Structures are given as structure tokens and as C-alpha cells.
Structure 1
Amino acid sequence: MQPPLIERNVADVCRTVLDDATEDVLAVGPSPTVVDGLVAMLADRENGPSVRLLATESVLKASVSEFTDASVIADLVADESLSLRTSAERLDGPLLVTDERVVSLVTTDERTAGLATDDAAFVDAAREEYTDRWADAESFRLRTPPLSRVQESLEREFDEELAADFERMRIALAEADGHLDEVDISLLAAARNEALLYDISTWGEGVGIASRATFSRKKTRLEEGGLIETEKVPIDVGRPRLRLLLGDDHLRGIDADEVVSVAAELLAAARQ
């Protein structure tokens, strides 16, 4: 047995383990907390071995339930730093299996320990066992687009200011209480910059955030709550397009990262 790895959090233990690995690492049976720590470490890392993560479907669904978490994971999958599969079988763990050691993760409120062994025969047997389980497992399908694609396409289709507003709202959204989602902040960022509903909904459908029908439905909800307004913009052929505008004075003149909390308060008040 090796001395235990005791760090501040899961991400630090994962970083220590992967820094010593030379081949792909198997992460087996993680809890949502372990997935979060592993993803945080991978997102902060520029190179190194990739991770094959084998978990139950319920754990992975919990880990991608929020837009920011899911889009960061999608980025890692897109650049092949991370791959995801699910197993219906009982999984031991959470374990990190490298080419040279097996590490069992134990988490508390304050610290995380990695209990490791480098016994060659045991490591080889564990790696063979979980490689076989990986081969038999089902791929996990992500429905959220990579965050980098969202950011780059917003700037390309609109401008730097709207993209920056969306990004600041996205960061605030990750700390909010669930009244808003990624479609809502797309519409609010568009309204803050007086973009057309057609353009933002077409962008959102194309990049994979949501359908144009969902954008239309969310627009109606925000409009009924008084958060946004629309004005008709004539076009050469066809029905006029709708320009999105902020509809409440409380949303005007505040920083973009404040919009999420103020909008949530306004929606809550409108429901009362």
C-alpha cells in the first residue's frame, strides 16, 4: 500500500493521480461529488491522459442537470479529454485506475483522501476487469452543446457585447436558485442588446440549446412576467420580425451578472 493522498478536495486528489499517469485513466463508480471534482480538474488542465468515466446513469444525469456543468462536460468530451459510459451493474468505487495504481476515494466535508495501492498484480487485474466493464457499457449521450461552441457562435452570429452579457449571466445562473435556465438568459441577453427573437432563436436551435418553439414559449413567459417587451420590425417579405427589449426598469442600467437574480425576483413576484 502507498501512503494515502490527502488533499483539500476531490479535484486535488484527481490532479495528483493523473499527473503521475501515462495512459488513459479509468474512473469507476463515482458519486456526483466525485464527478464534479474530476470535471473541475480536467477543465483546468491543459494536457495529460484522458479519462474514461464509468458510472450509473442516475449519477451522470445528476451531473449534467445544470447547463454550465453539462456544457463544460460536453467540451471535455469534444476534445477527447473525457468519455462517458453507463453501466446497469453494481459498480465498486469511487475508484481511479491508472496504469500503475488503483486509488479509492474517500470524501468528507473538509478533506478528500485517496487510498492507493501499486501492487502490480492487483493493478493489472483491476485494470483488466474495469476495461472489460467499460467495453460492455453503454455510451452516455449528452444533449447539451459544448460551452466553447456556444460562446464562439454567439460572438460570431451577434457581437462581443451580447456574447459577454450571456457569459456573465451564465456564470450567475450557475449560482442561482433555478427560476431561470439557459434559454431565459439567451433571451435576456438578446433583449439587453435589442436583438431579434428570430435571430436568437435560430442561433439557439442551431447550436443545440433548444428548439425555436422552446425559445418562443420562453419568450411568452418572460413577456407575461413583464421582463421583456417586443416591437415589430418590418422586413421586405413576410411577417414582421420581433425585436426583444428589456421590459422592466429594474433590469435596465444594471450589470449583466445582476440580471439573473433581479429577473428571478420579478418572475417570483409575478406568480404571486
Structure 2
Amino acid sequence: MGLTTVDAIAFVAFLSAVIGISLYASRDEDTSEDYFLAGRSLTWWLIGFSLIASNISTEHFIGMAGSGFGSAGMAIASYEWIAALSLVIVAFWVLPLFLRLGIFTMPEFLEHRYGNPARTIMAIYLMAAYVGVAIAGVLYSGALGLQTIFGLDLLPGIWLIGILAGVYTVYGGLKAVVWSDLLQGSALLVGGCVVTVLGLSEVGGLQAFLAANEDKLHMVLPADDPELPWTIFLLGIWIPNMFYWGFNQFITQRTLGARSLAAGQRGIIFAAGLKLIIPFIIV
């Protein structure tokens, strides 16, 4: 079944609502703290949804789902389980330090500890990593989705996604971003649940699915597995997870805008809870 006019209208309406609500929510910004940290006024539920929405994207729905269908199977969900534990550590041992220092960015934290050269190095590294790796991958996979659904060529799709996201981000700052995250994250989670239910219905129910995919439902793979050996759980997987959830500007910015330490901690724990259900609606 192809895309109908109703589908196209719904897509455009949702996109317009995301941009409109985000810009409206961020209309009163007078200081740099308002712009970069939403005036340190973010509630726990906004923080939680924003953390998850910032994390999940087309790279999850396309990349992680593809890995789950491949040789990794459900073991690919290990990244999500470890992420939930990492978030708990960040909430109670890392966030209090950040809020006590009153920092705006992660490079600024390094400046407090090691001086200005460390701040400069990390800022350059993060910019290169975001532009060359993270953003590039998300833009490409998003454009791939637009190509599949609407028949739009990859390059125009990449430009379209980049421009639309850039409009409300540059204009509205962090507050616009977290409100767009709330709307888009909710849509992703609800949509993922709907697709899961419909998918199980198509294959004959949960029992039929489990019987047909028994070989892919193992959470722990052998130590000699080329993709996800169980040994990475001892140390290796924790290093990128702690960086990503605790010291990654792209993620941590949300928690730095919390109205209080308690709000920030509740938001992170809420995100950790959502992380536990992600594998069931994506993988």
C-alpha cells in the first residue's frame, strides 16, 4: 500500500506542530542561560523524554533493528540495558557535581579540572565527532527513510532534515530542542509500540514469533562472537556508555538545564526506565 494524501497531510501537520510548539515554548529568552540551559527551568519529565528522544533516531529504527535481524539478535539490546545502568550512575554520582559547578558545557568542566587547553581540545574533538560521525549518520539514515517513504532523493532529503532541525534549534535554543524532543520522542515510542503490535499480529502472535526466531533471542553471545562477545560487559561497553550518558555534551546539556538537582535526577531515572523498554519496540 502506497502513501496516501491523508498520510502526507498527517506528516506535514506533525512536522509543523513540532516546529511551531518548539518556537512558541522558547519565545522568552533574554540571557545566555536561557538560550543554552533553558533558564535552568526544565522539569523531570521534559528532561527524561528529551534524553531518550535525543538518543533514539533513525539509527536505532534502521541500524539497531537491522542488527537484531542479523547475527547479533536480541544481544544488540545489551547496549540499552547497560545504558539504563549508566544513567543511574550519572544521576547520583555525576550530575550533582555538574550542577554544583554551574557549568554550561562539558568542555567547561574540563577547564575547571585541567585548564583552558583541555577545554579547547575537547571542544574541537566533540565538534568533529558530531559533524563527521553522529550527525552525518542520522542525516543519512533519516534521508534514507524519506527516500523509501516519499521517493525523495538522498541529497535533498539530507538538506531538508538539516534545515528544518536547524531552524528551531538555532532560533529557540535548548528549550526549543527539549519540547521538540518531547513531541518527537513520544511519537517514536508510540509508533514503535504500534508497529510491534501490528508486526506480532502479522506473524501469528507472540508464540509464533518466538518459535520462528528462537536462534536470535539469546541475550548473551559466546566469548568468540565477532560482533558482541559477552566479555565486553565486563569493561569495554561501560567506557563508551559512561562517556555518552555522563560527559557527552549532546546528551548532558539536557540535565544541566534542570530546575533542581532532584528534577534532574528524576528525569535521568525516568529516561533509564524508558531505556529498558526500547529493545522491545525497536529490536
Structure 1 length-normalised TM: 0.23
Which structure features the higher share of strand residues? 1
Structure 2 length-normalised TM: 0.22
Which gives a bigger RCO, structure 1 or 2 (Cα 8 Å, sep 6+)? 2
